[in-house]
């Protein structure tokens, strides 16, 4: 694919993925409108936890490993046989697995979310029994998008996810008056079937695979499974946070699972956008630099990426801390999402947003380890942070702080994960040794910027207490933008000069 065409495809895929992400967030807004922070909202979030976990984590790992193996097989005959073997074994395993989820739905919900009340447990188990078959179609669909991607049909694969979120949302809205919470359960299943059917038709018409079965062992199939395991462990971090939230949240009062879910989705958005940038632009560039052994170029890319993320995400986090209540009111406070729901959710947003930069930075730094094929270290660090530090803090704080303790566990664990990855990048990858002085100066300057920015925002809010969430957010965003540009200019951040020079060039050209 030529450079110009590649850039066009990347732009189209980015736009489709952003639309899909916003549809996903809008679905959470609809759940808030319909149920607020009631036990029904808790049950909807809990019931879809496992299908989504298997889709994103397990399906994503298998697909990534499949692409790696498939591209190394020579000849169309060998590739066709490999597709048939993977499809056959995966289909059989997923049918058995999904059937097990259906038949043992009550036992699974009872084990994972053992703190639920009887009413909440019964609704969650019923919803999960309906949603469980979606696991089969979601994971098959993830693999089918891999087939499209290896054949350079990136926009088709992205459109399938847009169809999933759009149809899920549509079904949940249209059938809610008749089905209530069950509209979301059927929305999960029907949307997964529609996405799978859409992908099958595309692949069949494109003649990329004829969906044959070949139950035969091969070294390539076994290698796919072995490759998928470390990818699965390394990519499960964020979804494990969600799962742990809900497991501990089952012991809290009604509505806190939903509140944690709503706020987590807001914090997750920057990481989702960053994932697109990393996978489409940064990671291919990084892989080429590693292959060419450009040590200095890799170190510069590493430091510039972290610096840019710090300048873009951290000021946003500071802004969210000051305007959390207005943000929740503007986005969620409609229908059954009451002022009480806002009072439950906003403090959680303030805590979770502290970890927003670190979640994104962890994703970014991890890709440097993968590019160097040092996958074990980030996997161990992620599991230690999620299953060790996060779970430990949850146990310590849940009795005294409730849902806020779970939010602190997530943010603190993400910070610890980042610190451990920084240590590894220095001593395992040797990325920081030539830039330690510059690194320290950048951190000091960024901390000064954030402290000054936070102090000025605090002063603005104390002097001018504006009524109404929309007016408050708009005026606050304008003031925050002006303050940020001013501080970056005073502290001589070169990024602001680069941006202004770019704008000037555009103005001159337009004349």
pLDDT digit string (tens) for 291-345? 666 676 777 777 777 887 888 888 989 999 999 999 999 999 999 999 999 999 9
**Whether residue 160 has pLDDT greater than 60:** yes
**Whether residue 189 has pLDDT greater than 90:** yes
Mean pLDDT of the chain: 84
**Whether residue 101 has pLDDT greater than 50:** yes
Which parts of 323-402 fold into alpha helices (H)?
Answer: 324-332, 339-352, 356-371, 376-383, 391-401
**Strongest mean pLDDT among 70-79, 119-128, 238-247, 502-511:** 119-128
Distance between CA atoms of residues 500 and 67, nearest Å: 42
Task: Check if the beta carbon of residue 62 is closer than 8 Å to that of residue 142.
Answer: yes
The whole-number pLDDT of residue 262 equals 93
Distance between CA atoms of residues 382 and 318, nearest Å: 25
pTM given for the model: 0.87
Q: How confident is the model at residue 503 (pLDDT cuts 50, 70, 90)?
A: very low
Each residue of 332-389: pLDDT tens digit? Answer: 999 999 999 999 999 999 999 999 889 888 878 887 777 776 778 888 898 899 989 9
Contacts of residue 173, Cβ cutoff 8 Å, sequence gap at least 6: 30, 183
Each residue of 42-86: pLDDT tens digit? Answer: 999 999 999 999 998 888 888 878 877 887 777 788 888 888 888
- The residue assigned the tokens 């949940």 is 172
- 468 or 458, higher pLDDT: 458
The whole-number pLDDT of residue 293 equals 65
- Count of positions (residues) in the chain: 511
Each residue of 379-421: pLDDT tens digit? Answer: 889 889 998 999 999 999 999 999 999 999 999 999 999 999 9
Contacts of residue 255, Cβ cutoff 8 Å, sequence gap at least 6: 36, 37, 38, 39, 41, 42, 341, 344
Q: Residue 265 is encoded by which pair of tokens? A: 């989705």
Q: How far is CA 270 from CA 21, 46, 309, 351, in A?
A: 11, 23, 10, 16
């Amino acid at each position: 694919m030529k450079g110009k065409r590649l850039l066009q495809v990347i732009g189209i895929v980015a736009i489709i993925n952003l639309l899909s992400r916003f549809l996903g967030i809008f679905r959470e807004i609809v759940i808030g409108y319909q149920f607020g922070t009631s036990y029904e909202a808790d049950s909807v979030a809990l019931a879809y936890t496992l299908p989504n976990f298997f889709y994103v984590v397990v399906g994503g790992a298998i697909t990534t490993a499949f692409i790696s193996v498939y591209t190394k097989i020579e000849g169309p005959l060998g590739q066709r046989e490999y597709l048939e073997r993977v499809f056959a074994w995966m289909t059989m395993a997923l049918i058995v697995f999904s059937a097990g989820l259906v038949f043992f739905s009550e036992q699974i919900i009872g084990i994972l979310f053992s703190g639920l009340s009887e009413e909440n447990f019964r609704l969650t188990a019923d919803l999960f029994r309906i949603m469980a078959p979606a696991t089969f179609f979601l994971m098959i669909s993830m693999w089918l998008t891999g087939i499209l991607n290896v054949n350079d049909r990136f926009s088709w694969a992205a459109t399938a996810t847009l169809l999933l979120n759009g149809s899920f949302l549509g079904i949940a809205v249209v059938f809610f008056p008749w089905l209530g919470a069950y509209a979301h359960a059927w929305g999960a299943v029907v949307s997964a079937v529609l996405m799978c059917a859409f992908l099958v038709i595309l692949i069949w018409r494109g003649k990329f695979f004829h969906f044959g079965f070949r139950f035969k062992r091969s070294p390539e199939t076994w290698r796919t499974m072995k490759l998928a395991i470390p990818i699965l462990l390394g990519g499960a971090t964020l979804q494990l946070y969600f799962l742990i939230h809900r497991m501990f949240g089952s012991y809290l009062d009604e509505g806190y699972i939903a509140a944690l879910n709503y706020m987590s989705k807001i914090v997750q958005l920057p990481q989702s956008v960053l994932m697109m940038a990393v996978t489409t632009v940064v990671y291919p560039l990084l892989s080429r630099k590693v292959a060419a052994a450009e040590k200095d170029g890799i170190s510069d890319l590493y430091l510039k990426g972290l610096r840019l993320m710090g300048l873009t995400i951290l000021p946003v986090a500071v802004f969210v801390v000051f305007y959390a209540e207005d943000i929740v009111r503007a986005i969620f406070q409609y229908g059954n999402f009451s002022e009480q729901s806002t009072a439950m959710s906003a403090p959680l947003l303030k805590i979770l947003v502290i970890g927003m930069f670190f979640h994104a930075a962890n994703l970014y730094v991890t890709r440097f380890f993968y590019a160097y094929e040092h996958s074990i270290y980030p996997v161990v660090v992620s599991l230690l942070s999620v299953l060790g530090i996060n779970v430990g803090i949850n146990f310590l704080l849940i009795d005294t702080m409730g849902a806020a303790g779970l939010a602190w566990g997530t943010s603190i664990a993400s910070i610890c994960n980042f610190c451990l990855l920084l240590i590894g990048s220095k001593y395992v990858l040797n990325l920081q040794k030539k830039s330690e002085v510059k690194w320290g100066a950048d951190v000091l300057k960024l901390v000064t910027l954030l402290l000054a920015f936070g102090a000025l925002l605090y002063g603005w809010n104390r002097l001018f207490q504006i009524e109404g969430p929309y007016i408050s957010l708009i005026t606050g965003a304008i003031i925050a933008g002006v303050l940020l540009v001013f501080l970056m200019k005073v502290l001589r951040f070169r990024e602001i000069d680069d941006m202004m020079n770019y704008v000037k060039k555009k103005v001159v050209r337009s004349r």
